[in-house]
Amino acid sequence: MDKQSELTKLQKDEDKILIAKVMDKLKFAENRNRIESTDFLDLREQAIVKEMLELRKSSNYKSWGGYADAERNIIVFSNNLEYIKQEEINNLLSIIRITLPNNLNGQYEHRIYLGGLMKLGIRREKIGDIIVRKDGADIIVKSDLAEYLKNNLQGLTRFQKSNIEIKNIEELIYIKPEKQVIKINVPSMRLDCIVGELARCSRNDANKYLEEERVFVNFKEEIRSSKNVNEGDFITIRGKGRFKISKILGTTKKGRISLEIEK
């Protein structure tokens, strides 16, 4: 199979616009000898783009979301990426810091902040991770959008009494969340078996999750119930969470496979 056929196979209909936009950024960086960057991509989109770039044997790019554990990242392209200082890449991103009044401490969840952004007509791809704290949140955005967001978020009722500032990305306040470690026993490493245990449902219901395209393996959508998964794989079940098969511990006396899972 030639490269173009592989790229065509790689793309689903809903991903073609994403691939086209990324290719435009790549070509601009190559032809104009300047830094170009995409909007924020989720984990699934990042996997698709990186596979496409690998097929093209492109290496002049960097994935960056403002901090090492970021889930939503932009892809930065440059012909001379090895000579680009991290400071230049950092300048592409800013923080909108919202500090709540004392009477609202601990009352706002992630969806409240995201809902406010959506109310302003901001598309999700324009926003990076939202780091929620008890007293507010740090919202990672492209720097060219920061001033607009600061001015308009203040006009929303939910944030009228909050302090809203623009901060450099280096000033991000981030506390790494603790991972929950659980153990499960499965009859085999088939995906439907593992999804059933992780979602605490029957295998029939696990297959419904797969049919409804709610399951991702290593951030790629997966519908094959018979797919075997491996140690180190990530499994995401929409509505249930993201899990990593951190260790295969062995086999129980009843012949089931014991797994250590990070949630």
Catalogue all structural domains in the chain, each as residue range(s) with its CATH number. Answer: 3-86 (3.30.1370.160), 93-171 (3.30.70.330), 181-262 (3.10.290.10)
HSE toward the beta carbon, residue 16, CA cutoff 13 A: 5
Q: How many Å separate Cα 96 from the centre of its chain?
A: 19
Residues 6+ apart with CB under 8 A from 188: 228, 257
What local confidence, expressed as pLDDT, does residue 15 receive? Answer: 84
What local confidence, expressed as pLDDT, does residue 210 receive? Answer: 94
CB atoms within 10 A of CB 187: 13
Q: What percent of the chain has pLDDT over 70?
A: 95
Q: What is the pLDDT confidence band of residue 179, given thresholds at 50, 70 and 90?
A: confident
Lowest mean pLDDT: which of 4-8, 101-105, 167-171, 228-232? 4-8
Q: What is the pLDDT confidence band of residue 77, given thresholds at 50, 70 and 90?
A: very high
For the segment 117-140, the average pLDDT, to the nearest whole number, is: 95
Q: Does the structure show a pLDDT above 50 at 4?
A: no
pLDDT in tens, 10-57: 456 678 889 999 999 999 988 888 899 999 999 889 988 998 899 888
Q: Does the structure show a pLDDT above 80 at 167?
A: yes
What local confidence, expressed as pLDDT, does residue 23 receive? Answer: 92
Residue bearing the bigger pLDDT, 33 or 116: 116
Give the pTM: 0.79
Provide the mean pLDDT of the chain.
91
Q: Which of 187, 256, 260, 198 is nearest to 228 (CA)?
A: 187
Q: Does the structure show a pLDDT above 60 at 6?
A: no
Which residues does residue 167 pair with via DSSP β-bridges, in sequence order?
95
CB atoms within 10 A of CB 53: 18
What local confidence, expressed as pLDDT, does residue 12 receive? Answer: 65
pLDDT in tens, 135-164: 999 999 999 999 999 999 999 999 999 999
Residues 6+ apart with CB under 8 A from 148: none
pLDDT in tens, 84-115: 889 999 999 999 999 999 999 999 999 999 99
Which residues does residue 236 pair with via DSSP β-bridges, in sequence order?
216, 242
237-246 long-range contacts (CB < 8 A, ≥24 apart) are 237/195, 237/198, 237/199, 237/209, 238/209, 238/214, 239/214, 240/198, 240/199, 241/198, 243/198, 245/194, 246/181
Q: What percent of the chain has pLDDT over 90?
A: 73
What local confidence, expressed as pLDDT, does residue 56 receive? Answer: 86
